[in-house]
Amino acid sequence: MSKILFVMTGVDYWTLADGTRHPTGFWAEEAVAPYEAFKAAGHEIVVATPGGVVPTVDKGSLAAQYNGGQENADRVAGVLAAATELQHPISLQDVNLDEYAAVYYPGGHGPMEDLAIDADSGKLLTLALESGKPLGVVCHGPAALLAAEQDGVNAFAGYRVAAFTNDEETQSGFADKAKWLLQDRLTEAGVLVQVGEPWAPHIVVDRNLVTGQNPASSAPLAAELLKTLG
């Protein structure tokens, strides 16, 4: 049994261009689908957040429309409630990468607020990339890649990734409200964003980095990480 590190946002809001705070956190499916897959495969999960704060689920992500109906929405909420790892996170600053077989970053708009500028997360991502360990990042999670910078160069520059696209942000109704768009910022950092169909599962594998475009990509991404872990 290996340990897999879940690095999650520690905020429950996202500051929009007009200064208002949009309530958010992590996206339920992006935590639950990999959580269930990794646990079923016998792995242990440890959650880390900035400051060790308990991560907040984006309440919108628990709606029936995003979970294929009310029955599954209730099931997802139940998994989150029973996941004791989420209630007892460690602080990102205390993470020792040597203890983990893989690292996974779920999304939600939360990472746009904190992980995008978190130096500890940026260092961890750089180390994970250099270690060759499987590194999975999905949806808005790739915002965290923006903090993996040294001497003005992004550690992920030249890597092919999937991430939440401008089209999806537009269809979500946030593109014109956001301070910046993830696809644009990654591109500016030299990261090669591979755009798939909006809302369809789309993962990209480049060396030990496995990325997914949207919530629907989280289960295929988890399956890919498990394959890599053998």
Is the pLDDT reported for residue 47 higher than 80?
Answer: yes
Residue 198 near residue 139, CB atoms below 8 Å: no
Angle, helix 218-229 to helix 28-40, in steps of 10 degrees: 30
Q: Is the pTM of this model over 0.75?
A: yes
Average pLDDT, integer, range 171-184: 98
Per-residue confidence (pLDDT) for residue 156, from 0 to 100: 98
pLDDT > 90: what percent of the chain? 98
Per-residue confidence (pLDDT) for residue 4, from 0 to 100: 98
